[in-house]
Amino acid sequence: MDNRDLLKLAEKAREFSYSPYSKFKVGAALLTKSGKVYTGCNIECASYGGTNCAERTAVFKSISEGDLDIEKIAIASDNSEKNLPTYPCGICRQVILEFGTNISIITGFSKGDIFEEKIGDLLPNYFSGEEF
């Protein structure tokens, strides 16, 4: 699956966002090496600590299905009107990195520019768990 198609799936997932507080809708589409796609959206909670980002929703769906070999994740947000790509927050970067430093992060716009970076480059000097 190419990056543009994956980004279109992320844009579709964004439609299911539950974001009554921030009003900022985000969708993600994750492709595993097996070829399966898992989508997610951000889900907010009045107790903000209970909020979950779209990227983590997709990762958790993949992992809970036993599909741990993540190849890439596309992210789409409401920023398309501002022509600003959306990258994962710090917590999402750490969660994604748990499953590999070479996972591609795809962001941008299915009808415009698309950007690709490796998660290891987006979170240098990450915590690997090997520290203990």
Which residues belong to the active site? 55
Is residue 96 a contact partner of residue 55, using CB atoms and an 8 Å limit?
Answer: yes
Tokens of 48: 């903000």
**Position 51: which residue type?**
T
Q: How far is CA 96 from CA 30, 51, 55, 113, 118, in A?
A: 10, 17, 8, 23, 11
Q: Computed over its alpha carbons, how large is the radius of gyration of the chain?
A: 14
Angle between helices 90-97 and 54-64 (to 10 degrees): 20
Residue whose structure tokens are 């994740």: 73
